[in-house]
Structure 1
Amino acid sequence: MIPAAQAEAAALLRRLAGADPVETHISAVFVGPDTVWKLKKAVALGFLDFSTIKAREHFLRRELAINQPVAPALYRDAVPVTRAPDGTLALGGPGEPVDWVLRMAPVPAGDFLDAVAARGGLDEAMLDAIADAAFDLHAALPPVPGVDAAAALQRVLQGNAAAALAAGLPPPRIEALAAATRGWIARLAPILAARAEAGLVRRCHGDLHLGNLCLLQGRVTPFDALEFDEALATIDTGYDLAFLLMDLGYRVGRAAANRVLNRYVARSGDAGLVAALPVWLSLRAMIRAHAVAKAQGVIQGQPYLDLAEAMLTPPPPRLVAVGGLQGTGKSRLARALAPALGAAPGALVLRSDEIRKRRAGLTPEQRLPAEAYAPEASAAVFAELAGQAAEALRGGHAVIADAAFLRPEERAAIEAARAKAPFQGFWLEAPLEVLRARVAARRGDASDADAAVLAAAAARDPGPIGWQRLDAAADPIPAARAALGLNRDDP
């Protein structure tokens, strides 16, 4: 409900929009045919204080400053609601300001990504675009030095536990969850500190879920970044991403979240983020649990609390390698297996083709010149692949390594990355004529291999193959799932 002190301003905006507002506990959004007006409610809720005109002006301007660079077509300006000498209200008039509003462009209701997800519209291309939007957002942000990331997470936990109890969620479960989370954060403190030192703590979006992404001029665009608490938004980029992964996993399924995770890592190279994913995902689910419980009731918040608890008991890591000639379907198999393996949202897929493109500063779909495939360049790619696999496994996360692995030393290096984790290697095989047809039909893929590359690779002796051979002319997925002990009900 809009506070009584803002009733006149709300009436003006209602007339301009020709409709009642869409309300949250802190805002009222008036959606007109060609303009949207966002009014911050005059409320003080402990974690924010919009009770004065000065505060509402400040935070509206801050919201504009944070979001306009990312979504310039959406965010227009901040304007005062003024009172004329005759007592009437207007927007941007010469009189004294009585309130402030953020002026924005309208977005069709069906173009918000939570709505797209609800109608089943998040296909592979859209999921890749979501990951690219998150990567582009984070890549443009400068590091924030001097942040104790572990201590900051402990403060987030403390606030969320208090909010969960206030929302009526069961105290024994909240207390147990908080204790387990504190233990995780303490164990992760050295990793979190190293990530902060590496520049991965930034002034992020802070509220990056599907409802705060939209299609704008055909592009996935983040909006409505958290503006009222700099500490809550000055976080590890992986924690920012985790809200999106949690939301995707809950709303759409683990496979969707897994694809976004792997596309993000393919673009960023940040394989190390998976070590903290259990606690980050749990905290994000806990946030949603108490928010939903407060708004809709304890029963509605319960599934998110279940999820928060489940995130803190991940299965042990394992390493899977998928090798074979170009066109055997290695990436298809890796992507099919990944959601079912290991901790949420499934295995990290490390693909040599994507690593090679990132090292050259390109997106996965951009083509590289022939010199990028020189022996020394390939050696560097495989060294990075093995190093990232080892890092993720040490962090407790499952990995699928996707590469041709045509040389014995490449296979030996990836096997050595396993340390103590279980290992399974798959070698895909199919007749050369089948592979030629598949390579010729490729479009928009990270692999640059053509018929000549395939012919050269097929003529090379790969040495003895100790990995399980799978028939890639047929569908190798059932045999691979059986070899890994995956159940029919696994993702």
Structure 2
Amino acid sequence: MTIPQDQAPVAALLRRLAGADPVETHISAVFIGRDTVWKLKKAVRLGFLDFSGLAARQHFARRELELNQPHAPGLYRDVVPVTRAPDGTLAVDGAGEPVEWVLRMAPVPKDDFLDVIARRGALTPELLDATADAVAALHQAAAPAPPGFDAPAAMARVLAGNIRDCRATGLPEDRVAALGAGMAARLAALGPHLAARATAGHVRRCHGDLHLGNLCLWQGRPTPFDALEFDEALATTDTGYDLAFLLMDLCRSGQRPAANRVMNRYLARTGDFGLLPALGFWMALRAMVRAHVTARRGADGLAYLAAAEAHLRQVPPRLVAVGGLQGTGKTWLARQIAPDLGVAPGALHLRTDETRKRRAGVAPEARLPPEAYAEAESRAVHAEIFAAARQALAAGHSVVLDAVFLDPAQRQAAESAAAPYPFIGFWLAAPLDLLRRRVAARTAEGRDASDATVDVLDQAAAADPGPITWQVLDATAPLGPARATLA
């Protein structure tokens, strides 16, 4: 990659300030110093952007600051001119005529980017939950699209552009044609649903480029940065399509369980189960983007093309329910089996504890008062997870239900929610003394969505659950038998 000749003197100044060569893309050069980063937009005109004029580079530098600063305070600092004094000397934010504009940022340690963290296998459950929370917050704060936004037409333009770019970069014509036809057919079927989502406010001015490399740890929290600033039409899209880039990137990195955790945490926070019908299409489209971008850089884009083909394939869904007393490890088992079920990134995990917290408008780990567990609210919580399960199954996604299911009527309702798809029920069992120790330890840690105490466990253990017709698993080692049943 090269910096345009007219910008070479400015690049030389920034290189001296940073003490190192820049990190380049085809549209920018980032000079990373000890305590300051200078981002220079290259004076290029491409099919999808025009940074050739100084005024345009100033505008888009300010737009990048405007978009990113609210979500990354302190990371994005300001936009300043590079000036030329009467004697020809260049300076950053000096006296004289502006000859260039640069975005100033704070440096981030190279090991704190999420793609780097993923490669070293350090995506912890806590980090994944916090990442999903950050994406959910970004989407909640994003401005909705204007009334009348034609979401199906906008997505059709994105698809057409990516088919064209895949062909232009030399990817196999027969595979691109077949994938494009399959994608177009899926989009036609999804059209009314996408339009309804736009009307409901799910199309927003999103990040636009939300892959692993555009998330970093900042002030101890996962933080999206480098939002797409040069194309409002491309960045104004369904929040599900924005999320799909991150999920696709995790799956392609061999991190499908991580992708499943992020998806389920995001849905636990937002309740936006309506994104599921289009998720496979969106992940395929994001993989197409990566395929032609990778090929354009001279690398092999076929792996991403194969990922796009795989994401478009449908897998028959099924519903798995996991029940048992508090402390039996229902959520642990659900999270172990969910990534392997059905289409990527795995099954929707519906947990009554998280649904109750969302209904109350609090984070999953927040504590709720006893009245939040009144009988009427508990019935509403179960009705909500059964409805969400039916919605997900109809969209082609497998489901794992995670609840105590002490009432036989609730177990029957879970089985009914599966129809006409296959159902498997697991019932976890363990000695009461062990469960008391587990619940007491969980309560002391206070980092779980369950509010159950040892007293709550004892009350549940005293109740009669009726005949257990689900497969009973030893809660001290349930994973092997569960996977054998699901195989």
Give the structure-1-normalised TM-score: 0.97
Q: Indicate which of 163, 179, 183 corresponds to 1:161.
A: 163
The aligned residue for residue 150 of structure 1 is 152
Q: After superposition, what is the alpha-carbon deviation per residue over 1:149-203, rounded to whole angstroms, capped at 9, x for unaligned?
A: 2111111111111111111111111111111001111111122122112111110
Measure, in 2, the Cα distance between the counterparts of 1:273 and 1:461: 39
Aligned partner of 1:234 in structure 2 is 236
- The CA deviation at 1:146 is 2.3
CA RMSD between the two structures: 1.0
Match of 1:259 in 2: 261
Alignment partner, residue 450 of structure 1: 453
**SS class of match (2:45):** coil
CA–CA distance in 2 between the matches of 1:484 and 1:11?
Answer: 61
State the shift of 1:272 in Å: 2.0
> Where do residues 29-178 of structure 1 align in structure 2 (5 Å cutoff)?
29-144=30-145, 145-178=147-180
Pairwise CA distance, 1:78: 0.7
Report the equivalent of 1:6.
7
1:349 is aligned to 2:352 = no
Between 1:360-369 and 1:133-142, the stretch displaced more is 133-142
Shift of 1:396: 0.7
| Structure 1 residue 296, shift from structure 2 partner | 2.8
CA contact (8 A) 1:272 1:388 kept: no
TM-score under structure 2 length normalisation? 0.97
Find the counterpart in structure 2 of residue 337 from structure 1: 337
Q: Distance in 1 between the 2:387 and 2:250 partners?
A: 28
Q: CA deviation at 1:118?
A: 1.4
Measured after TM superposition, the shift of residue 314 of structure 1 is 2.4
The counterpart of 2:464, out of the listed 448, 453, 461, is 461
Cα distance in 2, alignment partners of residues 198 and 379 from structure 1: 27
Q: What is aligned with 2:26?
A: 25
The alpha-carbon deviation at position 18 of structure 1 amounts to 1.3
Between the aligned partners of 2:473 and 2:108, the Cα distance in structure 1 is: 48
Aligned mates of 2:333, 2:84 — CA distance in 1: 65
* Among 479, 482, 485, the residue aligned to 1:480: 482
Partner amino acid, structure 1, of 2:110:
A
Question: Do residues 471 (structure 1) and 470 (structure 2) align?
Answer: no
Deviations 1:76-127 (A, max 9, x none): 1111111111112112223221111101111111111111111111111111
Match of 1:243 in 2: 245
Among 184, 194, 204, the residue aligned to 1:182 = 184
Deviation at 1:133, TM superposition (A): 1.1
Q: Distance in 2 between matches of 1:147 and 1:434?
A: 56
The separation in 2 between residues aligned to 1:329 and 1:71, in whole angstroms, is 37
1:391 deviates by 0.7
Q: Which moved more, 1:122-131 or 1:332-341?
A: 122-131
Q: Which runs of 4+ in 1 moved over 3 A?
A: none
Shift of 1:129: 1.4
Structure 1: runs of 5+ lacking an equivalent: 486-491
* 1:301 aligned onto 2:301: yes
- Alpha-carbon deviation of 1:206? 0.4
- Where 2:301 maps in the other structure, the secondary structure is helix
8 Å Cα contact 1:117-1:252 kept in structure 2: no
Q: Which one-letter code corresponds to 2:363 in the other structure?
A: T
What does 1:424-439 correspond to in 2, within 5 Å? 424-439=424-439
Residue 488 of structure 1: aligned partner: none
Q: Secondary structure at 2:162's aligned position in 1?
A: helix
Residue 412 of structure 1 aligns with which residue?
412
Secondary structure of the structure 2 residue equivalent to 1:103 = strand
Q: Secondary structure at the match of 1:225?
A: coil
Q: Residue deviations 1:318-377, cap 9 Å, x none? A: 111111111111111111110110010000100000000111111111111111000011
* Secondary structure at 1:296 match in 2: coil
SS in 2 for 1:420: coil
Question: What are the Cα deviations for residues 284-308 of structure 1, in whole angstroms up to 9, with x where unaligned?
Answer: 11101111111133xx211111000
The answer to whether the 8 A contact 1:314-1:344 is kept is: no
Counterpart position of 1:379: 379
CA drift at 1:142: 3.0
Specify which of 269, 272, 277 is matched with residue 271 of structure 2. Answer: 269
Once the two structures are TM-superposed, the CA of residue 469 in structure 1 deviates from its matched residue by: 1.5
Hey, what's the Cα distance between the residues in 1 that align with 2:467 and 2:200?
A: 41
Match of 1:192 in 2: 194
The residue that corresponds to 1:312 in the other structure is 312
Deviations 1:373-432 (A, max 9, x none): 000110110011111111111111000000011112212222222131111111111121
Aligned counterparts of 2:96 and 2:7: Cα–Cα separation in 1: 17
Question: What's the counterpart of residue 367 of structure 2?
Answer: 367
Q: Partners in 1 of 2:255 and 2:116 — Cα distance?
A: 15
Total equivalences in the alignment: 482
Amino acid at match of 1:19: A
Which blocks of at least 5 consecutive residues in structure 2 are unaligned?
Answer: none
Distance in structure 2 (CA, Å) of the matches to 1:326 and 1:72: 41
